C-alpha cells in the first residue's frame, strides 16, 4: 500500500512537471507566432517598397529612353548645323576673295583717277589755248575739244564706278559681319541645348543610381526577413513537437496515475487521478498565415503680337520680348502671352505640338531648323529672333533647311 502511495505521488509530480512544460511551451509558441506575424508584416512592407522602386525604376528608364531619343535628335541637329556652318565658311571665304578683288579695283581706279586729275591740273588753261593755236581748222579744233570732253566724261564715269565699288565693299563687309553673327548665335543656342540635355541626363542617371541602391537594400532586407521567418517557423515547429511529446507523456502519466488510484481504491488518490485526467492540456497549434484623356484667326493674332517686338535685341538665353530673347525664348514668350505652353529649347519645340506639312503651314505655326526656330507669318515669311546683329526681325521661311513645322494652337 505504501509503495503504491509513493508511486501515485511520483506520477502526480510528473504530471505537474509536464503540465508546466506544456504551459511554457504554449507560451513560447504564442510569442513566436506573434513575432512571426510581426516579421511577416515587415516583409510585406519591404516587398511593397520593392514593387514601388521597381515601378519607379521602369518609369525612370522610360524617361532615360526618351532622353536618348532627344540625344539622337540633337546629334542630327548638330550634324545639319555643322554642314550649314561649313557651307557658311565657304561662302565667307569666297566673300573675302571678292572683297580683296573689289579693294584692288578700288585702289587701281583711285590711282588712275589721281594721275589724270594731277595731269589736268598741271597743264591748266595752256592745254586749251594750244588746242586753238595748233588746230589747222575749225574741224580739227572741234575734234580736239571733243576729245578733252570725253576725258572729263570718262573721269566722271570712273568716279561713279569708284563710289559703286566702295558701296560694294561696304555691303560685303556688312554681309560678312551678319553671317558671322548668325553663326555665333546658332553655336550659342546649340551649346545651351547641349548643356541643358546633359544636365538632365546626369540628374536622371543619378536618380537611377539611387533607385538601384535603394532596391538592392530593400531586397537585402527582404532576404533577411525571409530568413528570419524561416527560422521562426522552424522554431515554432520544434516547440510544437516538444509540446506534442510532452502532452503525450502527460497523458500516459495521467492514465498510469488513474490506474494506480483505481487499484488502490482510495478516494484521495482517485480524486488526484481524476484531476490529472481532467487537467489534460493540448498545445495551441494554430499558426496565423497572412495571405498575402482655335484656328487661323488665333494664328494671325499671334503673328501680329510677335511683330510688335521687331527691332528688339537678340540675347542668348533670354526670354524677354522687350529686353532681349534668343530664338526659342522669343517663340515661348509670344505663345505664353496667349496662355499656350511651349517648351524652352528649340530641339524640344521641334518635337512638341502637332506636326504640319509645309504645304499646310499657316500663320502662327512654328518653323523648325537645325538649332533655330521661328514663327510663320504666311506668304513664305517668318518673324524670329535671328542673331545678335539682326535682333528680332522678319525674313524668308526658306533661308535655311526646314526640319519640321509644329502647331500649338
Annotated catalytic residue within 17, 307, 327, 368:
327
Catalytic option among 5, 17, 307, 372: 372
Based on the residue annotation, tell me whether 384 is a catalytic residue of this protein.
yes
Quote the CA–CA distance of 219 and 201 in Å, as a whole number: 27
Dump pLDDT digits (tens) for 273-284.
433 333 333 333
With CA atoms as reference, report the closest residue to 356 among 341, 372, 370, 367.
367
DSSP state of 125: T
Alpha carbon distance 70, 396 (integer Å): 28
Burial class (CB in 10 A: 0-12, 13-18, 19+), 397: buried
Contact 248, 22 (CB under 8 A): no
- 372 catalytic per annotation: yes
The per-residue pLDDT of the chain, averaged, comes to 75
Question: Do residues 361 and 376 touch, judged by C-beta distance below 8 A?
Answer: yes
Please tell me whether the overall predicted TM-score, pTM, comes out greater than 0.85 for this model. no
pLDDT band (50, 70, 90) for residue 17: low
Give pLDDT, residue 276.
Answer: 36
Sign, CA torsion 113/117/122/124: positive
Highest mean pLDDT among 116-130, 294-308, 319-333: 319-333
Angle between helices 296-307 and 327-336 (to 10 degrees): 120
Q: How far apart are CA 386 and CA 393, in angstroms?
A: 7
For the cut 90, the answer to whether the pLDDT of residue 16 exceeds it is no
| Percentage above 70 pLDDT, the chain | 70
* Residue 363: predicted pLDDT: 95
pLDDT for 293: 27
Cell of 209: 543610381
List pLDDT tens digits, range 389-402: 999 999 999 988 89
Count the helices and strands in the chain (H runs, E runs): 7, 8
Q: From the candidates 17, 307, 368, 384, which is the catalytic residue?
A: 384
CA distance 332 to 322: 14
User: Residue 243 corresponds to which cell in the numbers above?
Assistant: 509540446
Query: pLDDT-based confidence at 154, cuts 50/70/90?
Result: confident
> What residues pair up with 392 in beta bridges, in sequence order?
385
- Quick one: what percent of the chain has pLDDT higher than 90? 23
Inter-residue contact 189 to 346 (CB < 8 Å): yes
Whether 5 is a known active-site residue: answer no
**What pLDDT score does 354 carry?**
95
Q: Does pLDDT of 231 surpass 80? A: yes
**Which position has the higher pLDDT, 126 or 34?**
34
Cβ neighbours, 10 Å, residue 259: 13
* pLDDT tens-place string over residues 244-270: 887 787 778 778 777 777 777 665 544
DSSP reduced 3-state for 323: coil
Q: Beta-strand (E) ranges in 240-389?
A: 319-320, 324-325, 354-355, 366-369, 372-378, 381-385
User: How many Å apart are CA 272 and CA 274, to the nearest integer?
Assistant: 5
What CATH number was assigned to the domain covering residues 296-407?
3.90.1720.10
Predicted confidence band at 318 (pLDDT cuts at 50, 70, 90)?
very high
Closest listed residue to residue 189, CA positions, set 302, 328, 50: 328
342 CB-near residues (< 8 Å, 6+ apart): 331, 332, 335, 336, 349, 352, 353, 366, 408
Segment holding 395, helix H or strand E? strand 392-396
Amino acid at each position: 500500500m505504501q509503495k503504491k502511495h509513493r508511486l501515485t505521488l511520483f506520477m502526480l509530480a510528473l504530471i505537474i512537471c509536464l503540465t508546466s512544460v506544456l504551459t511554457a511551451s504554449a507560451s513560447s509558441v504564442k510569442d513566436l507566432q506573434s513575432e512571426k506575424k510581426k516579421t511577416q508584416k515587415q516583409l510585406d512592407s519591404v516587398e511593397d517598397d520593392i514593387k514601388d522602386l521597381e515601378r519607379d525604376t521602369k518609369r525612370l528608364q522610360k524617361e532615360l529612353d526618351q532622353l536618348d531619343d532627344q540625344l539622337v535628335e540633337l546629334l542630327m541637329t548638330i550634324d545639319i548645323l555643322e554642314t550649314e556652318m561649313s557651307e557658311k565658311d565657304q561662302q565667307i571665304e569666297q566673300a573675302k576673295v571678292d572683297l580683296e578683288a573689289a579693294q584692288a579695283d578700288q585702289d587701281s581706279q583711285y590711282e588712275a583717277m589721281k594721275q589724270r586729275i594731277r595731269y589736268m591740273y598741271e597743264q591748266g588753261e595752256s592745254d586749251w589755248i594750244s588746242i586753238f593755236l595748233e588746230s589747222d581748222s575749225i574741224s580739227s579744233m572741234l575734234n580736239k575739244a571733243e576729245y578733252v570732253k570725253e576725258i572729263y566724261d570718262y573721269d566722271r564715269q570712273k568716279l561713279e564706278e569708284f563710289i559703286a565699288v566702295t558701296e560694294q565693299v561696304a555691303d560685303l563687309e556688312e554681309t560678312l559681319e551678319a553671317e558671322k553673327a548668325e553663326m555665333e548665335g546658332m553655336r550659342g543656342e546649340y551649346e545651351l541645348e547641349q548643356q541643358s540635355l546633359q544636365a538632365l541626363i546626369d540628374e536622371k542617371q543619378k536618380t537611377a543610381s539611387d533607385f538601384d541602391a535603394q532596391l538592392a537594400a530593400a531586397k537585402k532586407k527582404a532576404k533577411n526577413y525571409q530568413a528570419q521567418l524561416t527560422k521562426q517557423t522552424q522554431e515554432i515547429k520544434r516547440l510544437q513537437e516538444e509540446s506534442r511529446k510532452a502532452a503525450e507523456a502527460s497523458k500516459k502519466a495521467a492514465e498510469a496515475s488513474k490506474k494506480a488510484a483505481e487499484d488502490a481504491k482510495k478516494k484521495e488518490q482517485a480524486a488526484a487521478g481524476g484531476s490529472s485526467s481532467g487537467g489534460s492540456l493540448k498545445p495551441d497549434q494554430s499558426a496565423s498565415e497572412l495571405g498575402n484623356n482655335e484656328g487661323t484667326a488665333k494664328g494671325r493674332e499671334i503673328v501680329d503680337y510677335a511683330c510688335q517686338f521687331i527691332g528688339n535685341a537678340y540675347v542668348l538665353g533670354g526670354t524677354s520680348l522687350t529686353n532681349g530673347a534668343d530664338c526659342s525664348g522669343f517663340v515661348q514668350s509670344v505663345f505664353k502671352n496667349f496662355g499656350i505652353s511651349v517648351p524652352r529649347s528649340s530641339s524640344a519645340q521641334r518635337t512638341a505640338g502637332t506636326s504640319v506639312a509645309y504645304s499646310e503651314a499657316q500663320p502662327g505655326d512654328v518653323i523648325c531648323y537645325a538649332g533655330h526656330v521661328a514663327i510663320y507669318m504666311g506668304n513664305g515669311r517668318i518673324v524670329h529672333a535671328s542673331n545678335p546683329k539682326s535682333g528680332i526681325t522678319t525674313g524668308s521661311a526658306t533661308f535655311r533647311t526646314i526640319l519640321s513645322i509644329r502647331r500649338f494652337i
